[in-house]
Structure 1
Amino acid sequence: METTDLFSLQDTVSDLRVQGKYKETIEVSFRLFELGYSAKDYKSIMVALINRATSYYCIGEIQEAFTSIDAYLEYCGDHGDDVDRLNGYNILFLVHEKNNDYVKAKATLTKTINLGKKLQHYNMVSNAYSNYSHLCSAEEDYEGALKYASKGLEMAELHEPRTPILEFRVKLNVANAYIGLGKLDCAEELIEEMRHDTLLDSFIREKTQVYDLYGRFLMKAARYEKAYNSFTKAKELAESFNDQNLLKGLLEKRCKACEQMGNVELGFLAQQDYINLLQSLHEQEVMKTAMRLELKHDLAAIERRANRDYLTGLYNRSYMEAATDEMLEKAALVGEQVSCIALDLDNLKLMNDTFGHMFGDEVIKEIANVCSGKIRSDDLMGRFGGDEFAIILKGLSPEQAKIKAEQLVEAVRRTKIEKNGKYISVSASLGIADNGNGEITTFKDLFHEADMALYEAKRNGKDQICIMA
């Protein structure tokens, strides 16, 4: 797999997610993960996992989102940098918030703040403080909300280059905290300043939030008619970018304002708007539920493909490692023999250089087909990228494993691949190792032994078998 192909697939999976094609995003993410794993391209792996996590989050599959984020953060720990980890914390916060787990959401924000300060990514730190303030407001802890919003404003002012909208977003949380605390003079002064800020001409969502806040302030000040008008203005703005959850809150507030005014006729119209929106939200939820059910139905098939090498259909390394580890663990308990054959085609690079990589791929596929036909259904065979294969044999003695290896090397020798009317011969080198009566309990260690024997077979002239002593 060429690096450019991986870059292209990274762009594809990101584009699909941005377009809201979450089912397709998840499926392509599995393929990107598999190819990235085979190529040891950890950037591709992390792109696959973070897009998969975001897609699961967007369709409400919170547990699946958690699983993908956990894997993402694990890869970040081994192969990513602090920026990768910071991105992971951002999506993890959203999932905890969606799950209404404010304790874990706050803990994740704390990690974001600490790491963001270390990296001097003050925009990320400011956003984290804003989110912390939002959670405090949701819990009606308005003192805490004001405290964290004020810290967010400090961080926004440290960000370079100076970004007015970043500071503006934090001020929204400051004003919200003032309203919650009943500091209406402070709230009014700040909201009036924001309402007349020319910055809002370019930021429609923030303009909507300002009118929403202004309506809340007016409700607290018992100026209900003006509050209704402000909520209506916010509603019209929200309709322009179709945020239906935001609309739901605004329509509820309009109904409340009508109730406080005692305006039955206006209240009826507001109520009708609210009922129509609830119907629309219900239809959206039905569609999302159908997508989740469809995805669950397809998930097993997607995961089966994720366990397979894209070129040969054999198992890939991640599946081989997991399945062999489980096999070795059980074998150690019952004293069962497990052997590993490492098989590598000879002179594939020369064939690629002479006949092209497409021909090399045909050779790999043919050898995979020939060798997989020589093993039992209980045995495992996988490709690890390039032309290297691993075969795991369960319950065979070292002598029986050697016989199997001899059958495989002979089957490869008999294989002829046609190219331009000529038939090209192929050979392979094999290394054999076993689990040492239960002493070896991981695939990594077992394959390492077989790979060392394979290296010896190559060094001794290729087209032969070597057994690890």
Structure 2
Amino acid sequence: MPAYAELQAPIYAYIAKLKVKSGDWVEGKYYLDLAISKLSLVKSDELYIDSLESISGIYLVRGNYAETIVYVQKMADYAHDSKNKRGEIVALNRLALIYIQLDLFQLAVEPLQMALTLARETKNYDGEFLATLYLICVHINLPEVGPQETFELTIVAENIPSRLNNNNGYLTRFKGIVQQQLGNFSAAEKWLKLALNKAESDHDIRLLQAVSKNLAELYVVTNKPLLALDYAIMSLRYNNKMPHSNNSAAIQYLLSNIYQLMGDDKNSLKYLRAYANFQHLANETNTISLVTTMDKRIENIKSQHEYAELNNSFLINKVMVEENKNKQQQSIFILIALGLVFCFFIIVFFVHHRMLKAQVVTSMKDGLTGVFCRSYLKSYLPAVQSRFERETDPELSLGALIIDCDDFKFINDTFGHAGGDKALKAIVNTITTQIREHDLLIRWGGDEFVLICESVSHSQMRELAKRIIRSISDLLIEYDQATLSVTISAGYALHDKNEKFNFDELIKTADGFLLTTKRSGKNNYLGSKNNGLSATDFSKIFSKGIV
């Protein structure tokens, strides 16, 4: 494979991200599909993580949360398997950002805390800054968190030595929102105006939309409706340029409030109606809360019209018609909301199940070599037995190969435990290059390993043992300005197809052949066709050369 082949996926993904951010979804989709098709060519951990980060980011920008979660989960699984801490931090931050965009702020807290812990342990300042930035956003939107605590978190964020923390417009925006929550309106206006200038210089449509809305809300609170109207309209205009319009309903509702503040009930009802229509057409995740709020706004406007135009029957009837229409729409909204909540809980359950499964699997893996521990057999063997009993080919059976490092005590005594650990890692890495994808390698204890091979023939088992012995004996391990050479001895056995499943007897037979191999001079292997032979037969078999 050419060296540049693994660069294709990350490059195509990056181009796709630029195209989508510029609003060219058709071109972006073309490069996105190319990036996904080239993922299998990427061998570098960092490049693979970069590719998945860009791909999930594209789907997030598009508002496609289901696909975003799929690629975030891929990133999390790959980072865990490859022990790539940066990948784990990116995946946790991206998962939290999904929750934030879905307005599920409480759910974002746990992954952000995990990301912060990992980032600080590994001194990943970019990951730490993003996690802190997202946590500020979460605190702003959680009523149980006070603005003073959020303000202190902004101080922490601005002191993180990240390349992303260079006049960051999002952090500046959050400072303005926190100052408004603290009641410092002049300071809030200053920070939000700085964030707006930064967004304009960076041509950041997402930030322009958000800051414009924040300024409009600030001017509503400070009773400056004309300024509030200008920024709300500006926010809606920027929102229409974005790949998805999840914030449209909130901006239209804000405009309705502003026009009501100005005494313009006609335009207030117009934007309230637009807000209701958007809620009907869009699959907003916060439908329930918005429906409740909308109901209150309709009743408020209705009472104002009845009071102001009590003698005008035409206008009273018009308001009643609007109310009836909105009540009909509320029923539809509630049904949509219930469906969305149900779908969301299915997604949360799926993600939680995958994370729990990954934690269980991790607890069963050997911390040094990365292969499964002996305890894993308890959950693994029932499935092995089921497949063994269903196997119909008389030439294929269940095989076990026991591997033991020759003179491992000498290696530990000569090079120390660190040298012994490096030798064990090298042995495991070499063995994994020789076995099939579905073969299972287990650390049995100390320097002894067991390889379980399903649906394998006697000749395949013999060739596998031969390849492993040869590859280990050719191995040279560089350690502390010295070169280690290691050898292994092995014994294998195949389960008798005519006998009842007995894994312990299979291991016992293979272990007997391993002992015979050790006594005969090491760096060799010995095995039988099935496990029906007793220990007294080993010397006869060895003398006949069944190896």
- Pick from 312, 315, 336: which aligns with 1:280? 336
The number of residue pairs the alignment matches comes to 366
- Pick from 230, 241, 245: which aligns with 1:202? 241
- Pick from 31, 43, 48: which aligns with 2:91? 48
- Pick from 269, 276, 280: which aligns with 2:325? 269
Could you say if the C-alpha distance between residues 410 and 169 of structure 1 is closer, same or farther in structure 2, counting changes exceeding 3 Å? closer
- Pick from 250, 254, 258: which aligns with 2:302? 258
| Alignment partner, residue 124 of structure 1 | 170
Write the distance in 2 (CA, Å) between the matches of 1:280 and 1:410. Answer: 54
Partner secondary structure for residue 344 of structure 1: helix
* Equivalent runs, 1:340-359 vs 2, <5 Å: 342=421, 344-345=423-424
| Alignment partner, residue 268 of structure 2 | 227
Could you say if the C-alpha distance between residues 186 and 14 of structure 1 is closer, same or farther in structure 2, counting changes exceeding 3 Å? closer
- Pick from 150, 153, 157: which aligns with 2:197? 157
| Alignment partner, residue 44 of structure 2 | 4
| Matched letter for residue 145 of structure 2 | Y
Write the distance in 2 (CA, Å) between the matches of 1:459 and 1:117. Answer: 41
| Matched letter for residue 284 of structure 2 | D
Mapped contact 1:46–1:75 kept (Cα < 8 A) = yes
Could you say if the C-alpha distance between residues 298 and 24 of structure 1 is closer, same or farther in structure 2, counting changes exceeding 3 Å? same
Mapped contact 2:260–2:268 kept (Cα < 8 A) = yes
Write the distance in 2 (CA, Å) between the matches of 1:198 and 1:56. Answer: 25
Mapped contact 2:276–2:326 kept (Cα < 8 A) = no
Q: Given the two structures, how large is their TM-score scaled by the length of structure 1?
A: 0.59
Q: Which whole-Å deviations, capped at 9, do the CAs of 1:75-102 have from their partners, x for residues lacking one?
A: 3224344332221123223443454333
| Matched letter for residue 423 of structure 2 | D
| Alignment partner, residue 218 of structure 1 | 259
| Alignment partner, residue 408 of structure 2 | none
Could you say if the C-alpha distance between residues 462 and 128 of structure 1 is closer, same or farther in structure 2, counting changes exceeding 3 Å? same
Mapped contact 2:49–2:79 kept (Cα < 8 A) = no
* Equivalent runs, 1:8-407 vs 2, <5 Å: 8=48, 11-12=51-52, 15=55, 18=60, 19-21=64-66, 24=70, 27-37=73-83, 41-54=84-97, 65-97=108-140, 99-103=142-146, 104-113=149-158, 115=160, 119-132=165-178, 136=181, 143-145=183-185, 147-158=187-198, 161-163=201-203, 165=205, 166-167=207-208, 169-188=210-229, 190-191=230-231, 194=234, 202-203=241-242, 210-237=251-278, 242-243=283-284, 245=286, 248=291, 249-250=293-294, 252-262=296-306, 263-293=319-349, 295-296=351-352, 299-307=355-363, 313-314=371-372, 342=421, 344-345=423-424, 360-362=433-435, 368-369=441-442, 371-372=443-444, 375=445, 391=446
Q: Which whole-Å deviations, capped at 9, do the CAs of 1:418-465 have from their partners, x for residues lacking one?
A: 559955526989xxxxxxxxxxxxxxxxxxxxxxxx969x8676459x
Deviation of residue 153 (structure 1)? Answer: 1.0
Could you say if the C-alpha distance between residues 409 and 83 of structure 1 is closer, same or farther in structure 2, counting changes exceeding 3 Å? closer
Could you say if the C-alpha distance between residues 184 and 155 of structure 1 is closer, same or farther in structure 2, counting changes exceeding 3 Å? closer
Mapped contact 1:126–1:151 kept (Cα < 8 A) = yes
| Matched letter for residue 120 of structure 2 | G
Mapped contact 1:96–1:102 kept (Cα < 8 A) = yes
> Which stretch shows the higher mean deviation, 75-84 or 62-71?
62-71
Q: Given the two structures, how large is their TM-score scaled by the length of structure 2?
A: 0.52
| Matched letter for residue 268 of structure 1 | N
Deviation of residue 215 (structure 1)? Answer: 1.6
Mapped contact 2:246–2:284 kept (Cα < 8 A) = no
Write the distance in 2 (CA, Å) between the matches of 1:158 and 1:409. Answer: 59
Mapped contact 1:225–1:257 kept (Cα < 8 A) = no
| Alignment partner, residue 469 of structure 2 | 425
Could you say if the C-alpha distance between residues 206 and 44 of structure 1 is closer, same or farther in structure 2, counting changes exceeding 3 Å? closer
Deviation of residue 315 (structure 1)? Answer: 5.3
Partner secondary structure for residue 119 of structure 1: coil
Could you say if the C-alpha distance between residues 234 and 80 of structure 1 is closer, same or farther in structure 2, counting changes exceeding 3 Å? farther
Mapped contact 1:129–1:148 kept (Cα < 8 A) = yes
Partner secondary structure for residue 102 of structure 1: coil
> Which stretch shows the higher mean deviation, 55-64 or 66-75?
55-64
| Alignment partner, residue 399 of structure 2 | none
Give identity over the alignment, percent. 10
Partner secondary structure for residue 126 of structure 1: helix
Deviation of residue 151 (structure 1)? Answer: 1.2
Deviation of residue 306 (structure 1)? Answer: 3.7
Deviation of residue 162 (structure 1)? Answer: 4.7
Write the distance in 2 (CA, Å) between the matches of 1:29 and 1:423. Answer: 34
Write the distance in 1 (CA, Å) between the matches of 2:167 and 2:254. Answer: 28
Partner secondary structure for residue 101 of structure 1: coil
Larger Rg: 2
| Alignment partner, residue 386 of structure 2 | none
Partner secondary structure for residue 423 of structure 2: strand
Write the distance in 1 (CA, Å) between the matches of 2:250 and 2:240. Answer: 13
Structure with greater contact order relative to length (CA < 8 Å, sep ≥ 6)? 1
Partner secondary structure for residue 161 of structure 1: helix
| Matched letter for residue 161 of structure 1 | S
Q: CA RMSD in A?
A: 5.0
Q: Which whole-Å deviations, capped at 9, do the CAs of 1:142-164 have from their partners, x for residues lacking one?
A: x4355324312124325673537
| Matched letter for residue 223 of structure 2 | G
